[in-house]
Structures are given as C-alpha cells and as structure tokens.
Amino acid sequence: MTILTPQFPPLMKGLAAGPANPFTIACTEAARGTDAGLLPWSLTDERLRAALVLAPEEPLHSAMAAFCACGVGLQNALGVLAPPETAVHLEWTGGIRLNGGHCGGLHVAASTRAPGATPDWIVIGLELTLSLPDAELLEPGQTPDWTALAQEGCGDIDPLALLEGWARHSLVWLHELDSGSGRANLYREWRGLVWKLGEDISVPLTGERAEGTFLGVDEDFGMVLKPTTGATRLIPLTTLLEEV
C-alpha cells in the first residue's frame, strides 16, 4: 500500500504514526505541552485512525462540544466523498453508523475530568473501518451491526482525502463554536445526524448500562434519558472521557 502525505489546514500539523495508536500519541504529546493542532494519523488497508489535539479556553463541560463538532465534521467529509444515498449517523457515545451499520467511532480524552475546570488539552480521536477482513466478508445482511466503507459502496473513497476532509470540516465547526450562535448552529446540524434520538436505547457507561428513551440533550450536549421507571436523568458528555 503506497501512502502519500495528507495536506491539512495551516492550523494543523500532521504526524504519521505508522502502526502506533494516534489517539495515544496525541494524548501523550498534549500532556507534554505540544501546541494545539497536532494531528497524528495512521492508515492501513483495513483502518483509518487519527486524533486531534485541542486547547480549549472554557470549562470542560462546555468544551466537550468539540466532540460533537468533530463528529459533524466527519459526516460533512463523507457527504462530499460518499455516494449520495449513503446515510451517516452519529451515536451519542461516539459510534459512527454507515447505512445503519457500525463502522468506527470517535474517542475523547482531556487533561482533567473536573467539569468546571478549564482543561490544558482535549484530544478527539477517530477510527474508521475501511474494509472488513476476508473472514468477515459475508453476504449482505448477515452482519447487520458491523460494516465498513468498502461494504457500503464507499470503497472508492481515497482515505487520505477523507482524512483531509475530516480535518477541514472539523476545523470549520470548531471555529463556529467560537461565534455567538455557533453552539446552536452545531446543535441543529448534529440533531439531524444523531442515532436513535427519540427512541429507546441502551447506553454503555462505566460500571453500568443505562436504558431508557433518548429525549434529547442539554446545552452541553449531555444526554437526557427517560428510564422505564424512575426520574429522568442527565448523562454529561464528560462521562465519555477515556483514560489513556
């Protein structure tokens, strides 16, 4: 596989990670004090991985909107490159759905877990399955919950072009968050993409699995969940922060 060098916006600095995990590299470099905009990436025939270092200037609970901004950025990039009939949805927990099948996900980590503290850094990670291993190439419908770009008619997409598009579109939405109406604009875009909104869902959380009706989100994109019994609960987006 011949891999060329992707071209990123001026505010971003690409770093080829080879076989290493770009999310881990980004978190390590962020903890060392690297500048915002570092974008480690890794590409194989089966998988595209990348991560973006951010340096927010607001409390963590508000800065977590960047997680949703990068999700919308991916959908926008796929919208340009994928066949027009391709449906892209975003799970609240970060999962990426392509025509209903799971094909990757977003990850997030930060320098703090305190919602009211301003983090030194936030890292948003991306993983996309480009093609399934030969052993998993079954007839359509046999593995309805797992898929890949190649299995959904997107095999002709240049993964580096998709990576570049994710970077560009994510940057647009991250800048949009700095505007007066940016959060409302992001919400309107994100709401049309979120998976299972208004439906009964099961949310895997640390130490539990929350179940109920996904009613919507608050101003910080925290999930409003109505259980079958008991009071409606708010699950903050900071719940998705990962240990690295």
Rounded (10°) CA dihedral 97, 162, 152, 189: 40
Cα gap 72→239, rounded to integer Å: 20
| Angle, alpha carbons 119-121-125 (nearest 5°) | 125
- Beta strand 208-217 with 223-226 is antiparallel
Token pair of 16, please? 């080829």
User: Residue 67: what residue type?
Assistant: F
Task: Give pLDDT, residue 148.
Answer: 97
Residue 219 — φ and ψ, nearest 5°? -65, -15
Cα gap 166→81, rounded to integer Å: 11
User: Residue 150: what residue type?
Assistant: A
| Angle, alpha carbons 116-117-119 (nearest 5°) | 135
Fold agreement between 13-191 and 200-237: no
Task: Give pLDDT, residue 206.
Answer: 83
Task: Give pLDDT, residue 97.
Answer: 98
Residue 226 β-bridge partners? 213
Domain ranges of the chain: 13-191, 200-237
In CATH, what class is 200-237?
Answer: mainly beta
Token pair of 227, please? 């259980």
Q: What is the largest CA-CA distance in the chain?
A: 55
Q: What CATH number should be reported for the domain whose range is 13-191? A: 3.30.930.10
Task: Give pLDDT, residue 135.
Answer: 46
* Mean pLDDT for back-to-back runs of 10 residues, the chain (244 residues): 80 96 98 98 97 97 98 98 97 97 98 98 98 64 79 96 98 93 95 97 90 97 95 97 92
DSSP state of 65: H
Residue 53 β-bridge partners? 123
Rounded (10°) CA dihedral 100, 83, 193, 201: 0
